Amino acid sequence: MTTSSINNLFGNAAAAANGQDNSAIAGQSATQAPTDANRDMFTKLLVAQIQNQDPLSPQDPTTYVNQLSQLSQTEAIQNMSQSSTANASMLQSLQTLAMGGQVGSTVTVSTGTVQVDANGSKINGNINLNSASDATSLVLTGADGQHHVVQLGAHGSGAQNFTIDPAALGLPPGSYSIQAQPSDGGSPQIEVAARLDSVRVANGSVVLQVANVGQVDPSAVTGFNGKSDGA
């Protein structure tokens, strides 16, 4: 076996290792660590390269050091990718457990939609006004496109509480978009206070089921208000 052929063989093996490394970083094979067979092959190629080098023109020792470093770097990056995946999974599990302990509590959720249940339960919440408003309208729009307006009085900047009574507004059960229209023309954040019914993992993400709101991301929760005495 000639020195050039050994070098070519070794170069191909190194290129393949680098290709596996790039795939791991891209997330295509993040959980695949180098196997014992790959390490044995690397060692055999390195020994063969040393044995078959030209005695009159030996390889620079730093070349071997660089090749060993490439293998070590590949293993280190793949191990780091595995660790990151494991840490992300652990954090998600901890988040699920923490949220699960709040089931039955009243939470405040930032939302743009509300759901009227079959019982016509009242929906409570607040509007975070950026400035004082002479009058604020709360507009609910159903799937049929019909608007239902709740008129609120004048209020200074800050949280303005509201209650939606589906029976008084004649709202049938269903989902409604909700929007606040203060006198300054802004679009303030709307928060609904409702019971946290369940916590589950769907497609790798934590999903909360909140009464009168529906499914929400944990990032939409703005406050935990505790459980009621009857909970």
Classify burial at 9, counting beta carbons within 10 Å of its beta carbon; exposed 0-12, middle 13-18, buried 19 or more: middle
Q: Which amino acid is at 175?
A: S
In a domain, 14, yes or no: yes
94 and 116 in a single domain? The answer is no
pLDDT of residue 44: 74
| pTM metric for this prediction | 0.59
Sort residue 203 into left (φ over 0), alpha (ψ -120 to 50) or beta. left
Torsion of CA 117, 120, 121, 125, to 10 degrees: 80
93 and 116 in a single domain? The answer is no
14 and 123 in a single domain? The answer is no
**DSSP string across 77-98:** HHHHHHHHHHHHHHHHHHHHHH
In a domain, 216, yes or no: yes
144 and 161 in a single domain? The answer is yes
Residue ending a domain, choose from 58, 85, 100: 100
Q: What is the pLDDT of residues 24-68, one digit of tens each?
A: 444 444 444 445 666 677 677 777 776 776 666 666 667 666 766
In a domain, 229, yes or no: no
Per-residue pLDDT averaged across 188-203, rounded? 91
In a domain, 43, yes or no: yes
The number of C-alpha atoms within 13 Å of 171 and in the hemisphere containing its C-beta is 31
Domain of 20 in residue numbering reads as: 3-100
Residue ending a domain, choose from 100, 122, 157: 100
Q: 107, 124, 118, 141: which is closest to 231 by C-alpha?
A: 107
Reply yes or no on whether the pLDDT at 17 is more than 70: no
In a domain, 156, yes or no: yes
Torsion of CA 167, 168, 173, 179, to 10 degrees: -150
Q: What is the pLDDT of residues 81-130, one digit of tens each?
A: 777 776 666 666 676 667 778 888 999 999 999 999 999 999 999 999 99
147 and 163 in a single domain? The answer is yes
Helices (H), the chain: 3-25, 36-51, 61-100, 166-169
In a domain, 230, yes or no: no
pLDDT of residue 199: 87
Q: How many domains does the chain have?
A: 2
89 and 116 in a single domain? The answer is no
Among the listed ranges 29-33, 170-174, 216-220, which one has the minimum average pLDDT value?
A: 29-33
Per-residue pLDDT averaged across 205-214, rounded? 90
In a domain, 79, yes or no: yes
- Cα 189 to chain centroid distance, Å, stands at 22
How far apart are the two ends of the chain, measured CA to CA in Å?
A: 79
84 and 156 in a single domain? The answer is no
Reply yes or no on whether the pLDDT at 12 is more than 60: no
CATH of residue 195's domain is: 2.60.40.4070
42 and 110 in a single domain? The answer is no
89 and 119 in a single domain? The answer is no
33 and 56 in a single domain? The answer is yes
pLDDT-above-90 percentage for the chain: 42
Among the listed ranges 74-78, 107-111, 223-227, which one has the minimum average pLDDT value?
A: 74-78
The answer to whether the CB of 129 falls within 8 A of the CB of 136 is: yes
In a domain, 231, yes or no: no
Residue ending a domain, choose from 53, 72, 100: 100
140 and 32 in a single domain? The answer is no
